[in-house]
Chain A
Amino acid sequence: MTQTLLLFVVVLLASMVAGLIRVKRGPTSSDRMLAAQLMGTTGVAILLLLSEAISRPALLDVALVFALLAAVTGIAFVQRYHAMETGEQE
């Protein structure tokens, strides 16, 4: 069971590394930010699986903070996008 969970963790981490490519060469800023958001979500999944696999319940709290703060950066990006658009209209 632990083996299976660790295998899933490795697969999720590989998908995170694949997301790095989009951060590196995403043409627009939205691509980059969305890849970062996706990596935050993947990080939550990795932490949940890891806390079960190496039996550390404290990692659940870290997963919670991950989920919370992915939203904060997303909101900051949308605010920036909005500010740039209204700034151009003036």
Chain B
Amino acid sequence: MNSLLWILDITLCGSLLWLAWQTLATSDLFKAIVLFIVLGLVMALAWARLDAPDIALAEAAIGAGLTGALLLSTLTAITKRTGPRTPPETMDADT
């Protein structure tokens, strides 16, 4: 029983770290939003594993669900107004 729980915890920790790094490092906004949603899901699993079901509930509801939907609609509004996004590096070079 212990070894399986260890595998579970190590997989959760590893994927959490990888997801957090990818979410911050990616330059594609849509990809970052999806990675953020998945990060919220894995985070809720981690809270559930840590015996904190109420925090897992809040994380799944707010972190993954609501924030994900809000970020998606915000990205839609931005893209409709300004067209496809230009990378920030070129904008910095121009100004």
Please list the residues of chain A having a beta carbon within 8 angstroms of any beta carbon in chain B: 2-3, 6-7, 9-10, 13-14, 16-17, 20, 23-24, 29, 32-33, 35-36, 39-40, 43, 46-47, 50, 56, 58-59, 61-62, 65-66, 68-70, 72-73, 75-77, 79-80, 83-84, 87
In angstroms, Cα B41 to Cα A65, docked, is 11
Chain A interface main SS type: helix
- Given A20-B19, A36-B38, do A80 and B31 touch, yes or no (CB 8 Å)? no
Does A73 lie within 8 Å of B45, measured CB to CB?
A: no
Contacting residues, chain B, for A65 (C-beta < 8 A): 57, 60-61, 65
Which A residues lie within 8 Å of B8 (CB)?
A: 6, 9-10, 13
Within 8 A of A (CB), among B1-19: 1, 4-5, 7-8, 11-12, 15, 18-19
B1 in contact with A69 (CB, 8 Å): no
Would A76 and B80 be within 8 Å (CB), given that A43-B44, A65-B61 are in contact?
Answer: no
Evaluate contact between B65 and A13: CB separation under 8 angstroms: no
- The answer to whether residues A72 and B69 also contact, given A50-B48, A56-B51 and a CB cut-off of 8 A, is yes
Q: When the two chains form the complex, which single residue of A16, A17, A73, A79 contacts B76, counting CB atoms closer than 8 Å?
A: A79
Q: Are A17 and B11 in contact (CB under 8 A)?
A: yes
CB-based contact B48/A59 at 8 Å: yes
- Which of B31, B41, B44 is within 8 Å of A32, CB to CB? B31
Bound CA span A32–B8, Å: 24
